[in-house]
Amino acid sequence: MNALILMAVVAALYMLFALLLRHYALRGLVCTRAFPQPAYHEGDEGEMIEVVRNDRPMLIPWLRVESRTSPHILLGRQDNLNVSAGTHYCSLFTLLPYQQIRRRHRVRFLRRGAYNLGNASLTAGDLFGLNEAHREQEMDVPVLVYPRLLGEDELPAPFSRMISEIVSRRTLQQDPFLVRGIRPYRPGDPVRDIHWPASARMQETQLRQHDYTAMSRLLVVVNFQRSRHEWGDRLMDYEEGEIERLISIAATLCVRALGAGLSAGFAANMPLGEEETCAFVAPAAGPAAREAVLSGMARLRLRRVLTFPTFLNTLTRCSGLDMLLISLYDDEDIEAAMARLRRAGNQVQLCVVKGGSAS
Query: What are the pLDDT tens digits along the chain (359 aa)?
Result: 566 655 555 455 555 555 555 555 667 788 888 999 999 999 999 999 989 888 888 787 878 888 888 888 887 765 555 555 556 778 888 888 888 989 888 889 999 999 988 788 888 777 666 677 778 888 888 999 999 999 888 887 777 777 676 666 554 455 555 566 788 888 877 777 888 888 888 888 887 876 545 567 899 999 999 888 876 677 777 788 899 999 999 999 999 988 888 899 999 999 998 888 999 999 998 889 999 999 999 999 999 999 999 999 999 999 889 899 999 999 999 999 999 999 998 989 999 987 655 66
CATH code where residue 221 lies: 3.40.50
Q: For residues 12 and 178, what is the distance between their CA atoms, to the nearest angstrom? A: 85
Output the pLDDT for position 172. Answer: 47
**Do 306 and 253 share a structural domain?**
yes
Helix locations, the chain, DSSP H: 2-24, 157-168, 196-202, 240-259, 287-298, 308-314, 332-343
314 phi/psi in degrees, rounded to 5? -70, -15
Nearest to 81 by CA among 56, 61, 55, 103: 103
3-state secondary structure of 242: helix
CATH code: domain of residue 46: 2.60.40.10
**b (16+ CB within 10 A) / e for 37-65:** eebbbbeeebebebebebebebbbbebeb
Q: Are residues 254 and 324 in the same domain?
A: yes
| CA pair distance 316, 319, nearest whole angstrom | 7
Same domain, 62 and 186: no
Question: Is 152 within the bounds of a domain?
Answer: no
326 Cβ partners below 8 Å, 6+ apart?
A: 220, 221, 222, 223, 246, 249, 250, 351, 353
By CB neighbour count within 10 A (0-12 exposed, 13-18 middle, 19+ buried), where does 276 fall?
Answer: exposed
Distance CA 72, CA 274 (A): 19
Residue 185 structural domain: 175-213
Question: Is residue 312 in a domain?
Answer: yes
Residue 180 and residue 268 share a domain: no
User: Within this chain, do residues 101 and 196 fall inside the same structural domain, yes or no?
Assistant: no
What is the reported pLDDT for 291?
Answer: 95
**Residue 354 counted as domain residue:** yes
Give the separation between CA 5 and CA 229, rounded to whole angstroms.
Answer: 83
- State the pLDDT at residue 5: 59
Residues 59, 117 within the same domain: yes
Q: In this structure, is residue 299 part of a structural domain?
A: yes
The strand pair at 278-284 and 357-358 is best described as: unpaired
Residues 33 and 182 both lie in one domain = no
Please tell me whether residue 179 adopts helix, strand or coil conformation. strand
- Looking at the domain assignment, is residue 151 inside a domain? no
* 102 plus 142 within the same structural domain: yes
In a shared domain, residues 202 and 236 = no
Number of domains forming the structure of the chain? 3
pLDDT of amino acid 334 = 94
**Residue 315 confidence (pLDDT):** 94
Both 185 and 233 in a single domain?
A: no
Does residue 67 lie in a domain region?
A: yes
**Claim to verify: residue 276 and residue 325 sit in the same structural domain:** yes
- The model's pTM is 0.77
One domain, residues 307 and 194 = no
**pLDDT value of residue 86:** 53
